[in-house]
Amino acid sequence: MDHPKSNGQPGKTPGLPPEVRRDGEPGWAGGLRKLYNSVVDEPLPDSFQDLLKKLDDGDDA
Amino acid sequence: MPERITPTSGDEAFRRELMGVLPHLRAFARGLCGRHDFADDLVQETAVKAWTARERYQVGTNMRAWTFAILRNHYLSELRKSKRQTDVEDADMERMLVMEADQEGPVHLGDMETALQKLAPERREAVLLVGASGFSYEEAADIAGCPIGTMKSRVARARTDLTRMLADEPEKIGAR
């Protein structure tokens, strides 16, 4: 078995990993925002249609 | 320039503003509880609560902060209720997000999500509010009902935890 001795990611140069520490922030900080924004960007599911109606009808909730 | 104000126009403006924050509420809820269905239920219930309490909302204040606080309190009370019923921890079964083909970040989003769910709840909430939703420490402290210093230290601890967790498994990061 001949495992290539990969040193992983191409951008992994010492000192400045890609997208890391843009403002001295750790790499996951962008990941967290991305995760969050991916939900914000999702279209509202169909189940929310009823909600719209409920609010339309006034407060008989 | 004052426009003609009909009794419903205030409601309509409120409704529109409320609808506008729903996507943010969904993101916050999902980050908090880690489950799709539960998160969406929370958001819907929050919207109804907000609507019912709309008279108490001061126009011109922060709708996002106001509704986040409602959601957060509702979530905690639901949590207490369900803790009494069962102690099922199935957050792991349904992942917060099923991310496919989005692996270009330095951190794989699946790992990010797993790490987030491993945080202590108040730290998770803190880093979601400040690090993801973009609230100031002051706004976040208001939402969570704690002093600003407490919020700052929660965020700092969450950051330390996340950095440690996500640095522990170098193979998983970006390599999948």
Can you give the CATH number for the domain in which B23 is found? Answer: 1.10.1740.10
The residue of chain A with its CA nearest to that of B27 is A39
B117-138 confidence digits (pLDDT tens):
999 999 999 999 999 999 999 9
Q: Are residues B81 and B13 in the same domain?
A: yes
Q: Are residues B51 and B112 in the same domain?
A: no
Which parts of chain B sit beneath pLDDT 50?
A: 5, 87-105, 170-176
At B148 the pLDDT is 98
Closest CA to B128 of A22, A45, A37, A26: A37
At B66 the pLDDT is 96
Confidence tier at A55 by pLDDT (50, 70, 90): confident
Q: Provide the ipTM.
A: 0.76
Higher pLDDT, A53 or B148: B148
At A1 the pLDDT is 45
Q: Are residues B172 and B109 in the same domain?
A: yes
| Tokens (6 digits) for B111 | 């790992």
At B100 the pLDDT is 34
B34-47 confidence digits (pLDDT tens):
988 999 999 999 99
Q: Are residues B67 and B126 in the same domain?
A: no
What is the sign, positive or negative, of the torsion defined by CA atoms of B28, B31, B35, B38?
Answer: negative
Closest CA to B161 of B110, B125, B107, B124: B124
At A9 the pLDDT is 43
At B108 the pLDDT is 77
**What does DSSP assign to residue B106?**
S
- Please give the model's pTM, rounded to 2 decimal places: 0.74
N- to C-terminal Cα separation, chain A: 66
At B174 the pLDDT is 46
Q: Are residues B78 and B109 in the same domain?
A: no
At B12 the pLDDT is 87
Alpha carbon distance A19, A11 (integer Å): 9
- Lowest average pLDDT, out of A10-19, A36-45, B23-32, B108-117, goes to A10-19
Q: Are residues B33 and B74 in the same domain?
A: yes
Interface test with A, best of B24, B107, B169 (most A CBs within 10 A): B107
CB atoms within 10 A of CB B58: 8
At A3 the pLDDT is 46
**What does DSSP assign to residue B172?**
T
Q: Are residues B82 and B28 in the same domain?
A: yes
What domain range includes position B164? 103-176
Q: Which residue has the tokens 């078995």?
A: A1
Closest CB to A31 among B15, B18, B106: B106
Q: Please say which residue of B59, B88, B117 terminates a domain.
A: B88
At B27 the pLDDT is 97
Tell me the chain A residues in contact with residue B17 when contact means C-beta distances shorter than 8 Å.
Answer: none
Confidence tier at A4 by pLDDT (50, 70, 90): very low
CA separation (Å) from B128 to B97, B146, B154?
15, 15, 11
Tell me the chain A residues in contact with residue B112 when contact means C-beta distances shorter than 8 Å.
Answer: 28, 31-32, 35
Alpha carbon distance A27, A21 (integer Å): 6
Residue B166 to residue A27, Cβ atoms within 8 A: yes
